[in-house]
Structure formats: structure tokens, C-alpha cells
Amino acid sequence: MRENETEMDGTAKLELWWSVILIIISAALMRVCEVMWLKPRRIRSKLSKQGIGGPKPTSILHGNIQEMSKIQSMATRTIPPPLGQVVSHDWYLSTFPYLQKWSQEYGSVYMYSTGNKQHLYISQPDLLKELNLHKSLALGRPTYLTAATEPMLGNGVIKANGESWAYQRKLIASEFFLHKVKGTLGLMEESTMAMVEAWEKHITESEEGVVDITVDEDMKSVSADIISKACFGSSYVQGKQIFEKLRALQEAMSKPSMLFGLPQFRFLPTKGNRAIWRLKEEVDSFIHRVVKARQEKRQQDGKSEDLLQMILDAANNDSQKHASKTDHFIVDNCKNIYFAGHETTALTASWTLMLLALYPEWQECVRAEISKICGDPLQTCRLDLDTIPQLKTLTMVIQESMRLYGPAIIMAREAFADIKLGDLVVPKGIHIWNLIPVLHRDPEIWGVDAGEFKPERFANGITEASKYPQAYMPFGYGTRLCIGQTFAMLELKIILSLCLSRFSFSISPKYCHSPMYKMLLMPEHGMRLLVKKVS
């Protein structure tokens, strides 16, 4: 009898375990069904009912990925023109060509899919204006993109969302107000003059009086030196390893597929992923050293007043709930400032010099303006908050350069709740996109000469430069507008003024015009220019 009871108890337990396993499997299958099929279907249905079309997903697992890959493979890279011909500015045609193709087929607003992720592409000016005005925390950076860029940016101000982003922005933005930025003008000039003097020495030592310089590399060094001194109190020599490792990390992570959530297997120990993990650890280690050095210096010399110290104070303030993970808070925000604070400015300065080399008449106009306002170019330029705003022509050239060759290529947002843009209800979970170079070349917005370099279009400011000013977004838009915009513009004007007052630039025979996307718009083979002293 007892043996039969024991056998029955064992059978009952086994049946119970099987029931539990079946429940778990059923729950998992229901979750997969919800994530991969039901939720995407609901989102697409809500948009479809509002008249939004787009390419139909070819499968539940891949969405439109196969079509995207096919269109991308058919797109040809811009062929560098022979020496002496005008460089074409239509490089953008091979950058995410599927977005442009679908715009032609489905209009200025359409939807598409990458697996279970649903995307809404918007290039309609009135809807972009609504995005500009939208201040709710229900609109932020795509969460899957934040996860993909975690090794590079962590959860710092660039990628954070919600209250965490609002807190970090409030903390950091105050360091870039004009009354604080003006105190860094001397640092900007000092760092730039070091590069200028190196160029002058190089030219003097050359037999022809002209040298072939990869200017983007030097610009990165100058900009890195400026952001290090201004925000972290250290020189480029101290921060050099951080910048080199961040650049290597950026190179390792620069895959267009990352933007749209295509399969990356970033958790698998592949060769590429191991390299990313190693570089992340090295960057974090270097930043910890800078932080430790600052903490030791503060104990000896008293309180320091810069961005790094503000981050340290916030992270150590137990009353701030957002700074609970002290180490992550410090490292993530330092990486954000290092990355965004020097790379974008250096690239903009490089593209601007390339354009001025292509259009020498504008180079002469800018040089004449600098000479008139700042005095003899062979002496130290009087660049301050009184003279810099007077450089109208230089400002126009920079703005036009950012229109044609702005470092940021993609605008991306995620709706964390249902939001309304005009008459369009955007459902929760959708990812909103725009291809900035295409928007910056739209003839309906900029006129028939939209593809040409014409700085005069900004003669009366950004609001008068195009039919829809909200379509100009080199620094982003709305609440996510770049907090370092004032700092960056002052830095650009100082760097370019000091360079143009002393040197003339022309395109090197070795320059290969091949802009490419690597998280930012970069010259694939470097920015090679011929540099000689102004006579």
C-alpha cells in the first residue's frame, strides 16, 4: 500500500513539474507573440488608420531588413572627381538610400519595420515644427539605441531619458551659458595658436612654401585640448589616451545597422565585441584616473570651478536620487562631454575649410572681414565677445557648411507614450526618424539651389534662410537642442579666424572626397588640404 502511495506521490509531483514547465513555456510563447507580432501589428494598425503607408514587412522576424539590405547594396558610393573639378555635394545619396527611396514612393511621412521595431519617418516641415515644440518627457532617445551605444556613452546626458535626462541636462547646461563660456576664449585661442605655430614652422621648413596637411587630425587635437582645459582642467597631453581610445571605440561601433536595431549579437564574445569591451574598460579606467587626480588636487588646493567638479559634486550628493550610482554617473557624463565636446566641432571646422578651399572667393571674403574687424592678421587677433559677433560672413559660411556637411546625420526619437503631432497621433513604442542631409537639401525648403554652397542664404539669419526654419537642425532641435551650441560656435569662429588670418587653403591632389557615416559624418580618407602662409 505504502509503495503504491509513494509511486502516486511521485507521479503527482512529476505531473506538477510538467504543468509548471508548460505554464512557463506558454507564458514565454505568449510574450514572444506579444513582442514580435501583436504589439507591432497594433502600432502599424494605428498608423495605417490615419493614412500612413509604407513598405510592407516581408516577415515577422526581419520586417523590411532584407529590402533595406538589397537597396543599400545597390547604392554606389560617390566617385571622387578628377583633380580640378568641383567636388560634388551629393554624397548623401548613398547614405541610408532606402529611407530616400521610400520617401519618393510613400511621401514625407511613412512607416517601416526592422523585426519587431516599428519606425516612422518624418520629413514634413509642419510635423517637424511640432517635434521642435514638444517638451514632454514622453519623447526621448530610442532605448535600443541607448543600449547599443552603452560602451561609448553609457547613460550620460546624450542618451539618457525621462527625469534622469532632465536632471543631467540641468546640471551640465549651466556650464555652457554665455557668461561662463566667455571665460574660455583665452583657452580657445591658446590651443589654436599652438597648432598655428606648428603649421608655420612646417611651412617655413618646406622648400615650396606650401605643405600638405591632414587638417582634420590637427583639428581634433585642438578641439580636444580646448574641451579638456575648459571643462576638465587638464591638457590634451593628459587626456590624449582617453581621446585615442574613444576614437578607437567609435570606429569599432560604427555600424549603420546599429541605428535601426538590426541583429548585432552584441552580447556574444565575438572578436569585435571583445575589442569593444576591452576599449570600454580602458576608457573608464583612464577617466577614473582623471577623477582621482582632481579629487586629490581639490584636497590640496581647495574647490575647483569647472564642469568636472560639478559632476563630482552632484555624484557625491546623497540627496540627489539620480546620482546614486556614483561611478557610472561620473564616467558616463565625462565620456559624453569628451565625445560630443570635441569631435563634432573638429569635423565642422574641417568641412568648413574644405568648402573654403573649393570656393576661394568666399575664403577671401572671410579673410577680408577678419582683417577689417580684428586688425593685422600677423598680430594676435582681438577675438572677444565684442568682435566675434561682428564676423557675419564667417557665421554665414559656418552655417552653410553645417547645412551641407553637418556632423549629425540622423535625428532619432522614441515615443514612450501616445503623443500628438498636429493631427497625427503617434502611438507609444514607435521610433521617429529623419535623415538630416536630405532635409537640408530639400528644394521645397531651400529653393532650387539647395544642393549648392551659397552662404549668402544665411545673410539675414537662420529664420530667413529657408521656407521652414525648423528644417535646419545641425545642433538638433527642441528640448534636445545641443547644450554646447554657444560654446561650439565660439570655438569654431576662433579656430577658423586664427587659421584664415594666417593661411590660405586649397584642395590637395591627394584628397579623396568620400564622406562617410561613423556615428558622425567623417572624411573617410582624411581632410587633405594644401596650406600656405598668407602673403
- Please answer whether residues 294 and 300 qualify as being in contact, where contact means their C-beta atoms are separated by less than 8 angstroms: no
End-to-end CA distance of the chain: 112
Q: Is 482 annotated as a binding residue?
A: yes
| Cell reading at 457 | 542664404
Instruction: Judge contact between 191 and 225, C-beta under 8 A.
Output: yes
Phi, psi of 474 (to 5 degrees): -65, -25
Comparing C-alpha atoms, which of 353, 338, 329, 471 is closest to residue 401? Answer: 353
Nearby residues of 53 by Cβ (< 8 Å), 6 or more positions away: 106, 107, 110, 111
| Contacts for 40 with CB less than 8 Å, ≥ 6 apart | 57, 63, 113, 116, 117, 118
Q: Which residue has the cell 545619396?
A: 93
d(CA 247, CA 462): 32
Whole-angstrom Cα Rg for the chain = 26
Q: Which residues contact 389 (CB under 8 A, 6 or more apart)?
A: none
Instruction: Provide the sign of the torsion angle of the four alpha carbons 323, 328, 332, 334, taken in this order.
Output: positive
| C-beta of residue 65 within 8 angstroms of C-beta of residue 115 | yes
Alpha helices in 86-134 (DSSP H): 97-106, 125-133
- Coil, helix or strand for 84? coil
Tell me how crowded residue 305 is: count the other CB atoms within 10 A of its CB. 10
Q: Residue 504: beta bridge partners?
A: 532
DSSP string, 266-324: TTS--HHHHHHHHHHHHHHHHHHHHHHHHHHHHHHH----SHHHHHHHHHT-TT-GGGS
What are the b/e assignments for 340-352, b being 16+ CB within 10 Å? bbbbbbbbbbbbb
CB 78 within 8 Å of CB 90: yes
Dihedral angle sign, alpha carbons of residues 38, 101, 91, 473? negative
> Grid coordinates representing 503?
593661411
CA distance 288 to 153: 15
User: Is residue 34 a contact partner of residue 57, using CB atoms and an 8 Å limit?
Assistant: no
Distances (CA, A) of 143 to 78, 413, 414: 33, 9, 7
User: Closest Cα to residue 521, out of 404, 439, 428?
Assistant: 404
**Nine-digit cell string for 331:** 564616467
Alpha-carbon distance of 269 to 497, in angstroms, equals 48
- Tell me the binding residues: 482
- Tell me the binding residues for heme: 482
